[in-house]
Structure 1
Amino acid sequence: MIAVIIPAHDEERHLPACLRSVARAAECAELAGESVRVIVVLDACTDGSARVAARHGAQAVRLQARNVGKARAAGAALALEQGARWLSFTDADSEVAPDWIAAQLAEAAQCVCGTVQVADWSGYGTAVRRQYEAAYRDEPGHRHIHGANLGVCAQSYQAAGGFAPLCSHEDVALVEALAVSGARIAWSNRPRVRTSARADYRAPQGFGAYLDRLHAEALGVAA
């Protein structure tokens, strides 16, 4: 069984599109009918995220941590209890490609780090987009790590100790632990994920915060 794990903190607005995209990926013919279970980790949610998850047939895990590392770990723990052989991670404000899961598995690695594409730059403008794209490598062999596009085999995940309880960079810490454990890591742009550039990002030092820093630098240059 394959598990897709999605942490969510008040994601009622973004979660439906995410879950629809995951459902399409779960039906990809290249998976040859293998079962895919979707787990939404409801972390301190006060909105309708639970109703959205239930409406789309996802399992739900509840906690009150406000910590993305703990949320991903809780989802992974449930998946492992249920016999998952592969763990695919994305974010509630992201949409995965129809062959996303299959593309991760096709790398035949213990861990797959994929790239992301920003769905809408309208909140930041062309200067920030140019800065971002100048520094970003959407190509094989990149060295980007995104919790929104990450896959790892269950055995290697457990050997590396799983996600650390970090509010940011929990994905980086896991990949570093996997590397130390000897896991084979694929740095691939074949698994495709579109993510948001929203201003109300959740991880204090995550992808949204990085875009904010680029925005501040662009304003400084302009001034």
Structure 2
Amino acid sequence: MIGVVIPAHNEECHITACLSSVLSAAAHPALARRKITVVVVLDDCSDRTGEIVLALGVSGINVCFKNVGRARATGADYLLDAGAQWLAFTDADTVVPQDWLARQIEFGADAVCGTVVVDSWEEHGELVRSKYMEHYQFVENHRHIHGANLGLSAEAYRKAGGFQHSAAHEDVHLVANLERIAAQIVWTATNPVVTSARRNFKCHGGFGEYLAKLGISLGMPVLNTKVSAGISL
């Protein structure tokens, strides 16, 4: 069984596209003999996200953590209890490719760290896009870590101690623990996901804030109160 975990906080504008892509990935012919369960962890949602998840026939877990690490861990625990042997993680503002899950399984590794592609740079502009592209590597054996594009075996997840209940960088901590236990990690750019570059991001310390701080370094105004300008890039 393959389990997919998606944390969500008020994502009614993005969750349909996200789940449609995940369900398409779950229907890949290479996975025909596998059971695949998708769960959305609805963290303090006050909009229609839960209704949309239900309408699409996907399981939802209602929590009030306001903590993405704990939300991911809760979804993982739910799927492990259900018998999942592989766990895949993405975000509610992200669209995955049709072969996303199939590629993860195909590698035969303990964990797979994939890359992300930004959906649109319209809110940031060309200067931020150029600055970002100076540092991002769309190559094999990159070292980028994204909770929006991560997969690992249930055994590796348990051995590494799972996700910490942290409000940010829970993915980085998990991968560090995977390296500590000498897990076999594939760093690939062959299964990129498309994620939002919105400036009204939801997670402090995450990808959205990183892009916002790139903008600050280039003299752009702060539009999100979650941005901690004092944190260096």
Q: TM-score, normalised by structure 2?
A: 0.93
Alignment of 1:20-169 (within 5 A): 20-169=20-169
CA shift, 1:21, in A, is 0.3
CA distance in 1, matches of 2:9, 2:33: 31
What is the Cα deviation at residue 134 of structure 1? 1.0
What CA distance in whole angstroms lies between the structure 1 residues aligned with 2:3 and 2:192?
17
Residue 33 (structure 1) shift: 3.2
The CA deviation at 1:18 is 0.1
- What residue in structure 1 maps to residue 14 of structure 2? 14
Displacement of 1:32 in angstroms is 2.8
Residue 11 (structure 1) shift? 0.7
1:176 paired residue number: 176
User: Displacement, 1:200?
Assistant: 1.6
Q: How far 1:108 sits from its partner (Å)?
A: 1.2
Structure 2, unpaired ranges of 5+ = 221-233
**Counterpart Cα distance in 2 of 1:4 and 1:52:** 17
1:217, distance to aligned residue in structure 2 (A): 1.3
Secondary structure (helix, strand or coil) at the match of 2:128 reads helix
Structure 1: stretches of 5+ with no match in the other structure: none
Contact 1:69 1:166 (C-alpha < 8 Å) held by counterparts: yes
Q: Distance in 1 between matches of 2:17 and 2:96?
A: 9
* Identity score, percent: 45
Q: Distance in 1 between matches of 2:140 and 2:54?
A: 36
SS in 2 for 1:186: strand
**Aligned to 2:79, what secondary structure does the other structure show?**
helix
Report the Cα distance in structure 1 between the residues aligned to 2:26 and 2:32, rounded to whole angstroms: 10
Q: Distance in 1 between matches of 2:203 and 2:20?
A: 23
The code of the aligned residue for 2:183 comes to A
Count how many residue pairs are aligned between Structure 1 and Structure 2.
220
Higher helix residue share: 1
CA contact (8 A) 1:107 1:186 kept: yes
Query: What is the rounded CA distance, in whole Å, between the counterparts of 1:131 and 1:88 in structure 2?
Result: 30
SS where residue 5 of structure 1 aligns?
strand
Distance of 1:215 and 1:68 partners within structure 2 = 24
Q: Which whole-Å CA distance do the structure 2 matches of 1:192 and 1:35 have between them?
A: 23
| TM-score under structure 1 length normalisation | 0.97
Tell me the amino acid that sits aligned with residue 150 of structure 2: L
CA contact (8 A) 1:18 1:96 kept: yes
The SS at the match of 1:97 is coil
Cα contact 1:7–1:43 (8 A) shared by 2: yes
